[in-house]
Amino acid sequence: MILSLHEVCQFRSQERAPAKASNSELRRLLDQNSFHVNGKPVKSKDEIEGPIVSLVLFPKSKQKRCTLL
């Protein structure tokens, strides 16, 4: 799901700026609980069911936190 969103949004790399984030970098971020969907952290292998009412990127960081929905 997040990897599909990456095709549209093109997340920026945290490791090598100013470049597009690689799929492996996004998988690492997902496995580090950097994305919360509907208030719950998602992992790279998780399937997301039901309507998505909230998507938060970097929920623990005051500087990087971004709420999309």
pLDDT in tens, the chain (69 residues): 666 766 777 777 877 778 888 888 888 888 998 889 888 998 888 888 888 898 888 888 888 888 877
pLDDT reported for residue 1: 62
Q: Which of 9, 12, 14, 54 is nearest to 32 (CA)?
A: 14
- The ranges assigned to domains in the chain are 2-67
CB 6 within 8 Å of CB 27: no
Q: What is residue 52's predicted lDDT score, i.e. its pLDDT? A: 85
Q: In the chain, which ranges are continuous DSSP H helix?
A: 2-9, 23-31
* pLDDT value of position 16: 79
* Residue whose tokens read 């623990």: 60
